[in-house]
Amino acid sequence: MPRRNENKCSFCGRGESEVDFLITGMGGNICSDCVHAADEIVKQNFEHKSSFSSDLKSLPKPTEIKSFLDDYVIGQDEAKKFLSVAVYNHYKRILQKKQDDEVEIEKSNIILVGSTGTGKTLLAKTIAKKINVPFTIVDATVLTEAGYVGEDIESILTRLLQVADYDVPAAERGIVFIDEIDKIARKGDNPSITRDVSGEGVQQGLLKLLEGSVVLVPPQGGRKHPDQKMIAVNTQNILFICGGAFDGIEKKIAARLNTRSVGYTAAQKTAGIDQDNILKYVSPQDLKSFGLIPEIIGRLPILTYLQPLDRNALRKILTEPKNSIIRQYTKLFKMDNVALTFDDSVLDYIVDKAIEFKLGARGLRSIVETIMMDAMFSVPSEKVGNLNITLDYAKEKLEKANLDKLRAE
């Protein structure tokens, strides 16, 4: 307890006899402990605000960004190049200085098209490790028109503000990855008694965000209320990357390419088309046929695709990346002082099953999890130093789980 009539710290309330040193000012006092605490707060705040490089020379070049992505994501070189260039140009656009030539660089929002498990979200998450601007991933499936159950469009910017610790200037130069963009496609032109509150209306709401405008954002998310204080965010310098599986768009691409026509002339036209990877021919016209409105396609000028994963790519994904699935499970067991190893035949078996189930890279983890579940349950309680997974063991555990129900038709 501080002594009576002695000076006290205006911040923590401790008396002069309770601290090492007390600085006395005209309107208050501060102790040495509070000075150190304030110094740490100022340093952290300064580091946060200065994390974005203001020097063009120190910015990570596209080749550096792609090299970093190569450490975590197998294949998808085309998509990596597009993303690396888009992010680098985003930096340059922010750092551009006012010139007499009045040339203003416009941002190039990007859209990724690829089937499930090909790495769209993984690419976005990995880029977040490399860049020094606020980055957030949002799910388009929860968005609805204003006034309906769900989240307003502005909730996208709320997430970005939260990542930036409500530093508005930092958020205004951030990057947003909108996942499952295909789920807000227009359901069709036929009139219906039920309103499509998560389709075209959401696309119309996204227009103002993508093109760049000042948006009033509720700081804590949720619905807007008249008495709620809003934060004004300018989206002019926010880069939007959208991703979606667009399940079934291959049929629309095939129809446009006329791959189903018969006859000698049609055969000549389609001879050079890669039937196994028809997604590589995706165009804005196909996105429009799928259900995206022309206005939103125009605000996503860079369109690229992710290749389907073949057996060789899946095998590499299983073991080669820095955070590969096998390395993750090896680390989990190592924390229990157990050395986990897999026979090569087991890894080949896992890849074969992933191809059979048609779940992409995401299916690899489900299969490994199923094989390892019993071991993860019992081994921590047993005195086991080494654990080797054999092909017979893997087959037994997978057949026992009856994963055949997951097989895609």
- pTM assigned to the model: 0.73
pLDDT at position 277 is 77
Query: Between these two residues, 269 and 170, which has the higher pLDDT value?
Result: 170
pLDDT at position 407 is 52
pLDDT at position 367 is 92
**Length of the chain (residues):** 409
The C-alpha R_g of the chain, in whole angstroms, comes to 27
Other beta carbons within 10 Å of 363: 24
4 has pLDDT over 80: no
Residue-wise pLDDT for 337-363, tens only, equals 999 999 999 999 999 998 888 777 888
HSE (side-chain half, CA atoms, 13 Å) at 277: 13
Exposed (0-12), middle (13-18) or buried (19+): which is 43, by Cβ within 10 Å?
exposed
pLDDT at position 408 is 45
Lowest mean pLDDT among 19-23, 198-202, 258-262, 303-307: 258-262
Q: What is the mean pLDDT of residues 381-403?
A: 87
Residue-wise pLDDT for 77-121, tens only, equals 999 999 999 888 888 888 776 555 677 777 889 999 988 778 888
402 has pLDDT over 70: no
Spatial separation of the C-alpha atoms in residues 90 and 87, rounded to whole Å: 5
Name the token pair of 344.
Answer: 């090569």
pLDDT at position 224 is 54
pLDDT at position 60 is 85
Angle between helices 62-70 and 77-95 (to 10 degrees): 140
For the chain, list the domains and their CATH numbers: 1-50 (no CATH), 56-246+282-305 (3.40.50.300), 311-406 (1.10.8.60)
- The three-state secondary structure class of 309 is coil
The position carrying tokens 């049929």 is: 251
Q: Which of 168, 175, 154, 137 is nearest to 48 (CA)?
A: 168
pLDDT at position 338 is 94
pLDDT at position 369 is 93
Question: Any residues with CB less than 8 A from the CB of 266 and at least 6 apart, and which?
Answer: 258
Question: Any residues with CB less than 8 A from the CB of 106 and at least 6 apart, and which?
Answer: 93
Chain mean pLDDT for the chain: 82
Q: What are the backbone angles phi and psi of residue 69, rounded to the nearest 5°?
A: -65, -35
- Strand-pairing partners, residue 29, are 24
Lowest mean pLDDT among 157-171, 215-229, 245-259: 215-229
Query: Between these two residues, 47 and 242, which has the higher pLDDT value?
Result: 242
Q: What is the mean pLDDT of residues 184-195?
A: 61
154 has pLDDT over 50: yes
Residue-wise pLDDT for 250-285, tens only, equals 888 888 887 554 555 555 555 567 777 788 889 999
pLDDT at position 107 is 80
pLDDT at position 49 is 47
